[in-house]
Amino acid sequence: MALPRLFDEGINETSPETIEELIERVLAYNPNADISILQKAYDLANGAHEGQLRRSGEPYIIHPLGVAGILADLRLDVASLATGILHDVVEDTKVSLDEIEKQFGVVIRELVDGVTKLSQMQFRQTHEKQGENIRKMIVAMGKDVRVVLVKLSDRLHNMRTLKHLPFDKQKRIAEETLDIYAPLAGRLGISSLKIELEDLSFRYSNPEQYYDLAQKIQKKKKERDKFIEDVRELIAREIKSRSTVQTDISGRSKHLYSIYKKMHNRNVDYDQIYDLLAFRITVGNIAECYEVLGIIHSIFKPIPGRFKDFIAMPKTNNYQSLHTTVIGPGGERIEIQIRTREMHLIAEWGIAAHWKYKEESRGTSKDIDGEAVNKFNWLKDLVSQHQGTNSSDEFLENIKGDLFESEIYVFTPKGEVKELPEGSTPIDFAFSVHTDVGSRIVAARINGKIVTLKHKLRNGDTVEVITSKTQTPSKDWLKICVTSRAKSKIRAFVKTEQRKRALDLGKELLERSFRKESIPLQKYFSGPKFEKLLKDEGCMSLDDLYIRVGYGKITPQKVIEEIVPDKIQKPEEEDLTKESFLSKAFKSAVSRSKKSASVITVDGMNDVLVRYAKCCVPIPGDSILGFISRGRGITIHRADCEKAYELDQARAIDVAWSKSPIEASSERQVRLKVMSQDKSGLLKSMSEVFATRGVNIINVQARTSRDLRAVSIFDVSVRDTKQLSEVIADLKKLPGVLEVERTSFAQD
C-alpha cells in the first residue's frame, strides 16, 4: 500500500542515480569541494562492483551512490562521501586497503577500514553478533565519528530498500534499527536521520499498526494543514506587533513513530492523543529566545510542568532549545520550540553540522570541529566504560540504556549539573561523579533528606552522596542502578572479587594437597613439567592455575599427577582421610557433571565443573545462584532456595544458564506436589498429562490427607522451566485438581 509522504524529514528520499547527480548535490553546499576525489572513488567502486546486483535486481553501485547521497544531505566533507562510495569494496571485492591508501591517502583508508571492520567479524549467535557490532561502532566513534555517520547512512539506505527482502529479515533488521541505530542517530543529534529510521523501522516491524495509524492521520491532513497555517500566522502577527525580533516560524505534525510511542506509553487510542502538532520558531540570539517565549505565554496558556529549558541545560548530544506546551486555538495542545538559527542547525544535523561549519569557516581561527568533539563527551565515556566488557550480550544491554534519550537533570551540592537516564538512583549519580565515590556510597541526601540507594532521582534534585571507607560495591547494586557506567564499574569489581576468592580457595586446596603428600610445593612449581601443565590448562601464571583449581576446572590431585607422578598413592594404599574423600568426591562429581557443565556459564566461562544442589534441584530457566564448593567445583542453587542463604556468601559467584541449545539428555529431576479431590481416575488423568507433554515419571507417591484430600507426589524429569510450566498448567486444568506446586526433595 503506497501512502503519500506525510512529514518533512529533512533528508532527500531520492538517491542520486549517477555520479554527476551526486557531484551536483555536493557543489550546492560546498562549491570548493574537490570533486575529482569523488569521481575517482566512483570509478574504482563501479569497476570493483561490476556484475554484482542488489536483491532488487539493480546494479550494486546504486547502493554506494545512495549512501553517499545521504552523506551529502548531511553536508559532510569529501572524505566522508568518498568513504560512502567505497564502503563495501574491501569486504565485497578484491580491492585492498593498500590500494585505497595509494589512490586516496591515509585518511580515507582509515575511514573505509573503520566501516569495513564494523561488519567483518562473524559470530555464532545473532544476538552476540549484534552486540559485538555495536561495541565496534562505539569504539569507532571514539576514533572518528565519521565512520559511524557512514554506517548510519548505509543502514538508512538499506532500510529504504528493505521491501526486497523476505518478511522475516525485514522484521529482524527493522527491530535492530529501532533498537540501536535510530537511538544512536538521536544521540548524535541527527534528528532528520533518526526520524526516518524510526518511521521505516515502524513500517516493517509493525506494518498493521503503521498503516492503520498512517491512514487515520491522512484523513485529517487538510484540516490539520489549515490549522497549522492559521496558528503560524497568528504567532507571526503577535510577535511582529510586540517585538522587533526577526523570526522564522514553521509547523508540522509529529512523525508516525513518535505518535505511536505516545499511544503505546499512555495506553490510549489515536483519538485520545492531543499534542500531535509542533511549531518551531528560530531567532537570532539567545536573548531573543526568551523574549519570544514570554510573548508565546502571553498569547497561549502554558501547561504546567511542560516547559523545558535545553538552552541553560543542553542535552548530551549538544541539542539546545526552549520547549513549551500550550493550549492553542480551539483547545488544541501544541508544542512550541524556540531556538537560534545555529541551534536549529545542530538540532537537525547534530554532530554532522560541525563538518559543514568546518567547510564554511575554512581559513578562520575558530575550530568548531574541535568544539564538537569536546561537547560529545559521552562518546569517550562509552568507549572507556565498555572496553573491558567481555560479554557482547552484557555490552548490548548496557549500551541500550545509554542510547535512549529519556533524561533527568540533577545537581551536585556545588550546583554542577549532572545528566542521567530517567530512573537513575543515587548509585548512578555517585558513579557519574567519580568511580571511588560510587564504590563507597552507603546512602544519599536528596534535597536535604536522607534516602536509600534504591531511591529514584527526579528532575531538579540536589544530590549529596554519603560514603564510607569500609563500603565496597555489591552485586545487588546491579539490580538498582541503570547507567552503563555504574554497571560496568560494579561488574568489574564483583568479577575481580570472585576471581580473588577462587584464587584463595585454589591456593588453599593445592597447598593442603601438597602438604598431605609431603611434597615441597616450591620445588615443583617450576621446570618443564610445570610449564607444560600451565600451557595445557591455558594458564599464564601460577595464579591462573590457582583460579582454575578454585573454580573446580582442575583437581589438586590432577596437578600433582602431572608434575610429580611418582608421589601419587596407588588406590589400594589410599586412606579415607578428609582430603582423599574430597578428591574422590571431586572425581565423582566430574563424572556426573560432564553434560551439566555445558548448560551453565560461570563468570562468562562455560567449561567449569558444576553440580546441582539436591535441596532445590534447579533446572534451565530457574533463577540461580552459584557457590564455590571445596573440591567440587560450583554448586548451583535456585535463587529462592532457603538453604542457599545459609551458605557462606563470600563464596557466591555469578552463574547463568548457557544460551546454547540444551539436549534432551540434559533433563533434570523435579518434584511436583498435586493437591486434589479424592476421586477415582484422577491419578490416571494426571499421568496422561505427563505422557502427552513427553515428561517421564520417575516415581509417584499418593496418599490421603487429614482433610480427605488426595496428595500426589510426582518425581519427573523435564528439560526446562518452560516444559515444567506447561505441565503444571495442564494439571491445573483437570477437574478435581485444587493445587499444583513444585517442591524441594527435602520438603516431602
- CATH superfamily for domain 218-348: Beta Polymerase, domain 2 (3.30.460.10)
For residues 149-159, give the mean pLDDT: 92
CB 731 within 8 A of CB 716: no
- In this predicted structure, what is the pLDDT of residue 323? 93
CA–CA dist 372, 253 (Å, integer): 30
What would the pLDDT profile of 58-111 be if each residue is shown by its tens digit? 899 999 999 999 999 888 889 999 999 999 998 888 889 999 999 999 999 988
The pLDDT of residue 337 is 95
Rounded CA-CA distance 279/300 in Å is 13
Domain spans of the chain, in order of start: 19-216, 218-348, 406-482, 492-657, 667-743
State the pairing for strand pair 277-283/333-340.
parallel
Q: In angstroms, rounded to a whole number, what is the distance separating the alpha carbons of residues 575 and 713?
A: 41
The 3 state secondary structure assigned to 384-400 is HHHCCCCCHHHHHHHHH
Read off the pLDDT band of 748 (50, 70, 90).
low
Question: For 225-283, how does the pLDDT look when each residue is reduced to its tens digit (9 = 90+)?
Answer: 899 999 999 999 999 999 999 999 999 888 889 888 888 877 777 776 766 888 999 99
Which ranges of 517-551 would DSSP assign to H, the alpha helix? Answer: 521-524, 528-536, 542-551
Mean pLDDT of 350-355: 64
Mean pLDDT of 373-390: 51
Residue 236: predicted pLDDT: 94
- Find the mean pLDDT for residues 200-208: 92
The answer to whether residue 36 scores a pLDDT higher than 90 is yes
Kindly state the cell numbers that stand for 265.
506509553
Written as one letter, the residue type at 193 is L
Which residues lie closer than 8 Å to 83 by C-beta, 6 or more apart?
Answer: 108, 111, 112, 115, 146, 147, 150
Q: Give the pLDDT score at 379.
A: 53
- Asked whether the predicted pLDDT for residue 163 surpasses 70, the reply is yes
Mean pLDDT across 535-564 = 82
| CATH class held by domain 19-216 | mainly alpha
CB distance 30 to 359 below 8 Å: yes
With bands split at pLDDT 50, 70 and 90, how would you rate the model's confidence at 139? low
Four-way CATH pick for 406-482: 3.20.20.70, 3.10.20.30, 3.30.390.10, 3.40.50.10540: 3.10.20.30
User: Does residue 588 or residue 525 have the better pLDDT?
Assistant: 525
When pLDDT is averaged across residues 474-502 and rounded to a whole number, the result is 85
pLDDT band at 356 (very low <50, low <70, confident <90, very high): very low
* Residues labelled catalytic: 91-92
pLDDT band at 450 (very low <50, low <70, confident <90, very high): confident
Q: How many angstroms separate the CA atoms of 728 and 675, rounded?
A: 12
Q: Looking at residues 18-25, what average pLDDT do you find?
A: 92
The residues pairing with 446 across neighbouring beta strands, listed in sequence order, are 449, 463
Whether 342 shows a pLDDT value over 70: the answer reads: yes
Kind plus residue range of the DSSP H or E element containing 464 = strand 463-467
Lowest-confidence pick of 125-129, 405-409, 579-583, 694-698: 579-583
Provide the whole-model pTM. 0.55
**Cα 394 from Cα 396, distance rounded (Å):** 6
pLDDT more than 70, % of the chain: 78
From residue 258, give the alpha-carbon distance in Å to each of 210, 221, 254, 265, 278.
Answer: 11, 17, 7, 10, 12
Strand partners, 676: 710, 737
| Out of 161-175, 489-503, 728-742, least confident range | 489-503
Q: Pairing relation of β-strands 696-704 and 449-451?
A: unpaired
CATH architecture of 667-743: 2-Layer Sandwich (3.30)
Residue 710's pLDDT band (boundaries 50, 70, 90)? Answer: confident
Predicted local confidence at residue 659, as pLDDT: 64
pLDDT beyond 80 at 616: yes
Low-confidence winner among 51-55, 314-318, 588-592, 672-676 (lowest mean pLDDT): 588-592
Q: What is the pLDDT of residue 630?
A: 61
State residue 498's pLDDT score.
Answer: 78
Long-range residue pairs from 485-491, CB within 8 A, at least 24 positions apart, any chain: 485/381, 485/385, 485/428, 485/431, 485/432, 486/427, 486/428, 486/430, 486/431, 486/432, 486/438, 487/398, 488/385, 488/386, 488/388, 488/389, 488/398, 489/385, 489/431, 489/435, 489/438, 489/439, 491/389, 491/394
| pLDDT 10s digits, 283-325 | 999 999 999 999 999 999 998 888 888 898 887 677 899 999 9
pLDDT at 747 over 90: no
Average pLDDT over residues 551-567: 76
Q: By percentage, how much of the chain surpasses pLDDT 90?
A: 24
Mean pLDDT (the chain, rounded): 79
Q: For strand 449-451 and strand 600-602, is the pairing parallel, antiparallel, or unpaired?
A: unpaired
Could you report the per-residue pLDDT of 561-591, keeping only the tens digit for each?
877 766 544 444 444 333 443 344 444 444 4
| Closest to 318 (Cα-Cα) out of 396, 372, 389, 386 | 372
Alpha helices in 520-644 (DSSP H): 521-524, 528-536, 542-551, 556-563, 578-592
